[in-house]
Amino acid sequence: MDDQHGILMDTMNELRLAVVHGRGREEISALLDQLIEFTRMHYWSEEQLMEHSGFPGLAEHRDEHHAMLARMLQSGHKVQYGEGVPLRQLLCSLRDRYIDHIEKLDQPYGPWLNERGVY
Residues of the shown chain interacting with Fe ion in the complex, contacts defined by CB under 5 A: 46, 106
Whole-Å CA distances, 86 to 58, 74, 75, 89, 115: 34, 14, 11, 6, 44
- The span from the CA of 96 to the CA of 105, in Å, is 13
By C-beta, is 38 or 85 nearer to Fe ion? Answer: 38
Strands (E), 8-107: none
CB of 25 to Fe ion, least distance (A): 27
CB of 1 to Fe ion, least distance (A): 6
By C-beta, is 19 or 46 nearer to Fe ion? Answer: 46
CB of 86 to Fe ion, least distance (A): 27
